[in-house]
Amino acid sequence: MKIYEIGSKLMRTYLVLLSSLIIIVSLGSGCDSTSTPTATVAPDELELTNASITPAMPTDTTDALAGYPPVEGKAPSYRVGVFYYPWYRNLANDGDWSHWGGPEFMPPEDISSDYYPALGPYSSLDPIVVSQHFAWLREAGVGVIISSWWGQGSNEDQAVPILLELGEQYGIKVAFHIESYPGRTAESIVDDIKYIYAQYGDSPAFFRTANTSRWNPGNSEKGLFFIWSIGSPDLSGSEPVDPSYWREAIDEIHNLPDGGLVIAHAESSFPVDEGHFDGIYNYSSLYLPEKGGFSWAHGLPPGTWFVPSVIPGLSTIRTGGSEGTIIPRGDGATYNLQWSKALDAGIEPEMVTITSFNEWNKGLQIEPAASGIDNEFGYEYKDYGSVPENWYVISTNEWVHAFLTKSWPLTYQAQIKIATNSDWTTFRMVDGGFWLRPDFTSIHEGATTARIEGDNRLVLIQPLERALEGGSVDITVDILFAGLDQGRALVFEIERGGIGSTTVEILNKERGSPIHVETFLWDGTPGDRNTLTVQILPEVFINATD
C-alpha cells in the first residue's frame, strides 16, 4: 500500500502488481502530518502525482503541462545542487529493468534497495517521473541537479535530453557528474566536456555560471562539472594517480571556448594547486563527528569553491553492504546534523550539494519513500521512521533558507612567516579561533614540502641531509583568521624535528601592508616532542578594523 497526494486531495492508492499490469483503486481519506524532530517549521502536506501508464511527452511543453505536476512557488536556488541518477529503467517503459534488478532480485516487487520509492520502480525516461522529481526539487528549493554521467552514449547520457527539456519548464538546471567509466582518462574528460557542450550546451536548462575561481578567473558564462574519484581515472583497473595527473586536462577545459568549472572529489586542499581544480566536493562523509566535520575546507586556498555534500543516511544491506556500514537516518537527525556541520564550518560554500536525490541502491536518497511495503518474500522495506515520506523535501527547503540567509564569521587578514633549519617543522592554531584560505606567496626552493595538511597545520620540510649541512628553508603565507573573540587568546603550537630551530613571525595585514605582531623562536627540546605552545591576543587584529 502506498500513499500519494494528488492536487489538494489525499488519495490512498492500492497497487496490485501483476507482471507489468498495474490496477489502481482509489479511496479518499485523511492523513496526519508528523513534525520534523529539529526543524522550526512543521512539514506541510506535499502534492504528488503518479500514473501507471506513461503518456507521450507533450510536443510543446511550454503549452500546458497537462497531467504533470504544476510549476509552483518561487524559483529554486542555484546555489544548492543534488546528485541525481538517471540510470533507472523498467519493463513497462523500456522493455527491461536497469538498476532495480539483478540476479538476486525480482522487480517490481523485489528491488535492489533497502527502501521502496513512493513512485515505484520507475524509468528515468518517463516524463511523468522526471516532472514529479523536478516539482519536488522546486518545492525543496534546489535548483541544480548534478546528473550522473557515464560516458558518451551511455544510459545516463541518453536521459539528458528529457532532463533538459523538463528542467526548462520547472526552472531546474543540469550540471554533470563525470563518473569513473571504463576507459576514463584525463584526456577523455576533455573530449567528454566538448561533447556535452556540443550536444546540450544550447539548452536554457544547461547550468552555466559567471562565477570565477583561483585557476579560472574569467567571468564568462561556463558549465559546471564534478569529477568523481580523481585518485583513479578508471576504477575498473587503472593505477592510482596524483592530482597533478589532471592538471593539463583541467587547464585545457578552462581554455575551451565555453570554459568550465571543474570540481574535484576529495577532502583536502591538495588537488586545487596540484591539479588546477576549481573546487572540492566530498560527495559523502559518513562519520562527521569523528572526522572533524567539514573542517578540511579551512585549508582551501583563496578563490577555491567549497562545495560540501550532505547525506540523509546510508543503507546497503540488500546490495551487499554490512550492518557496520549503515548510517541510520535517525528520523531525520542525520540529515540535520550534516547540514548543520556544513553550515558551521566557518567558511561560506559556493554551493551546497545533497547526496543524493535518488541513489536508491545505497539508501542515500531524499526522494519520498513508501512505507508499509514488502517484497513478497518476507523483507519489509525501510521507511523514514517517524517522519512523513516527504519530510526530506520539506526539511531541505528549510535548510536551503538557512544557508541563503546565514551570516558568516568575520575574517582578519594575517601573514605568517616560518623559517627553519630543522628537517621539518609545523605550525598550527589550537585554540581561540581558526584560519582560512591559506595562500603560499613564497616558498624556498630548498623545501620539498610546503603546504597545509588537514584543516590547520602548516607543514615545511627539507631533506635531512640538507638540514644537517646547515641549510634552512622558509615560507610566507597570507591567511585569514576567523572566530576571534575579545579577551580570548589565540593559541598556536610550533613543532619541529630533533635538530635546529624554527622561527615564526605573525603579521597583521588588516590595513594593507604587513605590520609585525609577534615573533616566536623554538630551539628547545623538553619532553618527548619538540613542541612549543605560544599565544597572542586577538585585539591586535580585531581593533585594527576600527
Given this model, what pLDDT does residue 64 score?
45
pLDDT band per the 50, 70, 90 thresholds, residue 60: very low
The per-residue pLDDT of the chain, averaged, comes to 88
Least Cα distance to 15 among 90, 119, 99 occurs for 119
Query: 18-32, 104-118, 229-243: which has the minimum mean pLDDT?
Result: 18-32
33 vs 41: CA distance, rounded Å: 12
How confident is the model over 450-476, as pLDDT tens digits? 999 876 899 999 999 999 999 999 999
Please work out, in degrees rounded to the nearest 5, the angle formed at the alpha carbon of residue 261 by the alpha carbons of 256 and 265: 130
Say what the pLDDT of residue 61 is.
44
- Tell me which of 214-218, 292-296, 357-361, 405-409 is least confident: 292-296
Scored b (16 or more CB within 10 A) or e, 491-505 reads ebbbbbbebbbbbbb
Of 425, 421, 423, the residue nearest 496 (C-alpha): 425
Between β-strands 515-522 and 449-453, what pairing exists: parallel, antiparallel or unpaired? unpaired
Cβ atoms 481, 424 nearer than 8 A: no
Q: Are 297 and 347 in contact (CB under 8 A)?
A: yes
Q: Residue 370: CB partners within 8 Å, gap ≥ 6?
A: 2, 3, 115, 116, 117, 118, 381, 383, 389
Range of lowest pLDDT (26-30, 308-312, 521-525):
26-30
Q: Report whether 313 contacts 319 (CB < 8 A).
A: no
Non-local CB neighbours of 402 within 8 Å, separated by 6+ positions:
339, 343
Beta strands in 330-402 (DSSP E): 352-354
Is the model's pLDDT at 22 over the cut of 50? no
pLDDT digits 0-9 by tens, 131-176? 999 999 999 999 999 999 999 999 999 999 999 999 999 999 999 9
Q: Would you give the DSSP letter of residue 458?
A: E
Give residue 253's pLDDT band: very low, low, confident or very high (50, 70, 90): very high
Confidence band of 20 (pLDDT split at 50, 70, 90): very low
Q: Where are the beta strands (DSSP E) in 327-366?
A: 352-354
pLDDT at 40: 32
Q: What is the mean pLDDT of residues 476-487?
A: 96
pLDDT recorded at residue 247: 98
Q: Residues, the chain, total?
A: 546
Under a CB-based contact definition with an 8 Å cutoff, are residues 107 and 113 in contact?
no
Categorize the per-residue pLDDT at 221 as very low, low, confident or very high, splitting at 50, 70 and 90: very high
Residue 89 in grid coordinates: 529503467
* pLDDT band at residue 287 using 50, 70 and 90 as cut-offs: confident
pLDDT at position 28 is 34
- At residue 325, the pLDDT reads 82
pLDDT band at 289 (very low <50, low <70, confident <90, very high): low
pLDDT at residue 545 in the model: 62
- What is the rounded CA–CA span in Å between residue 320 and residue 16? 29
* Residue scoring higher pLDDT (102 or 196): 196
Residue 97's pLDDT band (boundaries 50, 70, 90)? very high
* Confidence category of residue 235, pLDDT binned at 50, 70, 90: confident
Q: Which residue is associated with the grid cell 544510459?
A: 155
- Position 54 pLDDT exceeds 70: no
The order of strands in the sheet holding 424-431 is: 449-453, 457-461, 424-431, 490-496, 531-536
Q: Tell me the per-residue pLDDT of 327-371, one tens digit each, with 9 for 90 and over.
A: 999 999 999 999 999 999 999 999 999 999 999 999 999 999 999
Confidence of residue 300 (pLDDT cuts 50, 70, 90): very high
Mapping DSSP to helix (H, G, I), strand (E, B) and coil, where does residue 301 land?
coil
DSSP 300: P
Per residue in 368-388, pLDDT (tens digit) is: 999 999 999 999 999 999 999
Termini Cα distance of the chain: 64
Residue 2 has pLDDT above 90, yes or no: no
Mean pLDDT of 22-47: 32
pLDDT at 156: 98
What does DSSP assign to residue 464? H
pLDDT at 528: 53
SS3 state at 486 = coil
The band of 86, judged by pLDDT with boundaries at 50, 70 and 90, is very high
Report the relative pairing of strands 142-149 and 173-178 from DSSP bridges: parallel
Give the CA diameter of the chain.
87
* Per-residue pLDDT, 511: 87
Q: Please state the φ and ψ torsions of residue 164, each to the nearest 5 degrees.
A: -70, -40
Of 308-322, 406-420, 531-545, the poorest mean pLDDT is in 531-545
Could you tell me the three cell numbers for 483? Answer: 572566530
CA neighbor of 193 nearest in space, from 149, 237, 230, 243: 149
CA angle in degrees (0–180, nearest 5) for 387-392-395: 95
Least confident range from 93-97, 123-127, 525-529: namely 525-529
Number of H helices, E strands in the chain: 12, 22
